[in-house]
Amino acid sequence: GWVSFEGDEWGKMYDPYTEAATYANAMALKFITGVESLDQFAEYQQKALDLGFAESLERMQETYDKNHAND
């Protein structure tokens, strides 16, 4: 399905996402190259959620639900 943001909804979803994605991308490279131990992977996941992925997903879901309320 599609999602259409109104007003500042895009920024409210995207801003937390970009902060979390910056962290997640840098750490993913560290895991791939072996700089960071996979023993730290669960903490990595939680930190990415805390930095903004969870909030971003919640806002995306709210917008999707609103857009498709009458489907």
pLDDT tens figures, 6-46: 999 999 999 999 999 999 999 999 999 999 999 999 999 99
The sign of the torsion formed by the CA atoms of 36, 37, 41, 46 equals: negative
pTM of the model: 0.83
Residue with tokens 């599609």: 2
CA nearest 51: which of 31, 29, 27, 24?
24
Q: What is the pLDDT of residue 70?
A: 86
Q: Which helix (H) or strand (E) holds 17?
A: helix 9-33
Q: What is the pLDDT of residue 71?
A: 84
50 CB neighbour count, 10 Å cutoff: 12
